[in-house]
Chains A and B, each alone.
Chain A
Amino acid sequence: MNPKLPPPRASYRASHRLLGPPFQWLGMSCRHFTELTLAAMDRPLTRGEKVRRGFHFAACSVCRGFDRQMKALGPLMRAAFAERPQPSPDPDFLGRLHRELSSISDSGTSPT
């Protein structure tokens, strides 16, 4: 158990006490749902996987929240990555690089 995060609400716990075992047996538990949702971001799901995912999606509001989170994360990650401070290269490195490029520029055309 993750000590920092609270358990799901009581209605989820009650419904999943009943639904958990058959869902698990049918391969459509919350864990299966998250695995399939994440897999679908990298590959097309098989028809069977789509059915299991779709059935669980219809039955479980907590997992619908997980699905929305994953959908929202993609564009936000790209935005977060793009606006991170850009480190500047070392001036020494740029100097070395310039000398290196100049030393090979004599042979053939050079993009100066």
Chain B
Amino acid sequence: MLMEQAPALYGFAYARLRDHHLAQDLVQDALVAAWKSWSHYQGGSPLLTWLTGILRHKILDHHRVSSRRPALSSPPEKEGHALEDDLFDACGSWKIDPNHGMSPLLQSPAKAAQNADLRKWIAHCMDKLPPRLHLLFTAREVDELPVPEAAKLAGVTEGSAAVLLTRARQALRLCLQESLAR
């Protein structure tokens, strides 16, 4: 029964971590843990939901151990400022037109939802985020976790998560605009 869930769990882990080996290792850890604590499974929630919760804990543990690496502290700081300085002048006014080429996003939500090209570009721009930022961003935006939980999952402090999420959204928006305006 647990083995049947392995592909879905792997899909969940890979989509967030984008690391084949790490996704496999963590799915294996999660399933072994689930197997050992099978008696705790209440059956109230779907099995996959229970397993995904365990997998999240494994991702969190992994980043807790590896968070001593300063993967996110210094370089994005620089990049972030460069990004904002490219967008705004000394008075904080736009140097570029942020709405140029963005009409697919500005049309009615129902129309935008039908635009497959738009979703393709959005996925492309999400993929361009660096790995740890991608994990933080998907935890917050896709899984809609509260900021403290998303920060823990990605192994960053709550304070830097706020800064990083803002940068990620700004970078994603700009990537999307450059793609659509092409």
Contacts and interface: CB of A to CB of B under 8 A. Distances in A.
B2 to A, nearest CB: 5
B100 to A, nearest CB: 6
B139 to A, nearest CB: 12
A29 B87 CA distance: 13
Interface residues of B, number: 68
A19 B38 CA distance: 64
Nearest to A93: B24
Contacts of A30: 88, 92-94
A5 B34 CA distance: 51
Interface in B144-179: 147, 162, 165-166, 169-170, 172-174, 176-178
A77 B15 contact: no
B34 to A, nearest CB: 8
Given A24-B92, A93-B24, A101-B32, A31 B84 contact: yes
B106 interface: yes
B178 A5 contact: yes
A62 B99 contact: yes
B39 A109 contact: yes
B36 interface: yes
Interface residues of A, number: 65
Contact of A65 (B28, B34, B90, B99): B99
Given A8-B96, A32-B92, A65-B98, A74 B141 contact: yes
A19 B1 CA distance: 64
A42 B162 contact: yes
A4 B179 CA distance: 10
Interface of B: 1-3, 6-7, 10-11, 14-15, 20, 24, 27-28, 31-32, 34-36, 38-39, 41, 84, 86-102, 105-106, 109, 112-113, 118-120, 122-123, 126, 138, 140-142, 147, 162, 165-166, 169-170, 172-174, 176-178, 181-182
9 contacts: A2-B86, A16-B91, A38-B170, A69-B98, A69-B102, A76-B105, A81-B138, A89-B27, A111-B41
Interface of A: 1-2, 4-9, 12, 16, 19-21, 23-24, 29-32, 34-35, 38-39, 41-43, 62-63, 65-66, 68-70, 72-84, 86-90, 93-94, 96-98, 100-101, 104-105, 108-112
Nearest 5 A-B pairs (CB), nearest first? A29-B92, A20-B91, A31-B92, A65-B99, A80-B119
